[in-house]
């Protein structure tokens, strides 16, 4: 049984998050009112996932995230952010949190985000010994605008890199979340040309329009192209769509505190938080994500 720990000093927010989990899943839920109490609960019985508020007494979300990363690297953390906690949230993401959900979007994003994070933990370990001995890799993929295919590719790539570099679960999850966001942007905003502003106005309308365009010309014939270049020193992921592109110079800075709570900037923020470099081509229909290896892997193991 999947176990979720919700940590929040607000009884209303705890109830809201818990009700969404109960409504849409059969997961078991435990609650804590601050980070210190949450950490004690994790030490008693490790959950599969921790959902935590950022601003709390005793121990805040950043301190809890750091403690979980240090003591329980196999436990994933998702941040629940409110206005005023943006700066702490950015530090927590960099300290090891797997993702975040704005509190005003809990009803729409919490369960989906939790499922994505949990699913990434359950990947197959086939060929792990082979990947651990790999010294370089160049792979190319051409995929339809299919959500399941894109998410499966993301999980395959993060598992391959985690094994090759010997990454812990938290580092692997961060790379995976950045990849997923880049792939989803290529599908939704690139190939299907669904404006991100619609997501701020109406989540349901955003996904309904995407489903309609996925079956209509010319959108249905477009593909997502992915090239991966990996060595023991670093990896680059180049993701290109067949949409018209956009002027990335006009893209609002998603890492700015005033933009962190906007749903439409979430993907770019996660890419920049978890990758060392993020580059767009001139047309704006291709992004390259670069991650440096935490250490050099010997030529022979």
- For the chain, where are the alpha helices, taking DSSP H only? 11-24, 35-44, 61-71, 86-95, 106-120, 128-132, 147-165, 169-185, 196-201, 203-214, 266-274
pTM of the model: 0.61
Q: How many CB atoms lie within 10 A of CB 147?
A: 14
153-210 pLDDT, tens digit each: 999 998 888 877 878 878 888 899 899 999 999 999 999 999 888 877 788 899 999 9
Domains and CATH numbers, the chain: 3-120 (3.40.50.2300), 129-292 (3.30.565.10)
Give Cβ neighbours of residue 263 (< 8 Å, ≥ 6 apart): 102, 105, 109, 196, 199, 200, 203
| Longest Cα separation, the chain | 56
119-148 pLDDT, tens digit each: 876 653 344 566 667 778 899 999 999 999
Structure tokens at 25: 């899943």
Evaluate whether 21 touches 27 at the Cβ level (below 8 Å): yes
pLDDT of amino acid 243: 95
């Amino acid at each position: 049984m999947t176990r979720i720990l919700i940590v929040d000093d607000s009884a209303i927010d705890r109830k809201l998050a818990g009700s969404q989990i109960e409504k849409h899943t059969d997961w078991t839920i435990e609650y804590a009112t601050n980070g210190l109490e949450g950490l004690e609960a994790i030490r008693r019985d490790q959950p599969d996932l921790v959902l935590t508020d950022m601003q709390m007494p005793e121990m805040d979300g950043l301190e809890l995230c750091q403690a979980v990363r240090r003591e329980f690297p196999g436990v994933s953390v998702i941040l629940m952010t409110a206005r005023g906690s943006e700066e702490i949230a950015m530090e927590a993401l960099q300290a090891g949190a797997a993702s975040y959900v704005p509190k005003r979007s809990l009803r729409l994003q919490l369960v989906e985000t939790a499922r994505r994070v949990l699913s990434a933990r359950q990947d197959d370990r086939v060929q792990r010994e082979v990947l651990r001995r790999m010294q370089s890799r160049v792979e190319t993929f051409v995929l339809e605008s299919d959500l399941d295919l894109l998410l499966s590719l993301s999980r395959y790539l993060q598992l391959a890199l985690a094994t090759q570099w010997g990454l812990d679960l938290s580092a692997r999850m961060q790379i995976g979340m950045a990849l997923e966001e880049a792939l989803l942007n290529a599908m939704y905003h690139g190939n299907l040309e669904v404006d991100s502003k619609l997501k701020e106005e109406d989540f349901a309308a955003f996904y309904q329009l995407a489903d309609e365009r996925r079956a209509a010309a010319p959108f249905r014939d477009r593909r997502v192209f992915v090239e991966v270049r990996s060595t023991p020193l670093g990896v680059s992921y180049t993701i290109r769509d067949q949409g018209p592109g956009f002027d990335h110079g006009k893209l609002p800075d998603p890492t700015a505190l005033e933009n962190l709570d906007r749903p439409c900037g979430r993907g770019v923020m996660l890419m920049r938080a978890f990758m060392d470099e993020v580059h767009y081509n001139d047309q704006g229909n291709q992004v390259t994500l670069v991650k440096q290896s935490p250490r050099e892997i010997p030529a022979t193991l």
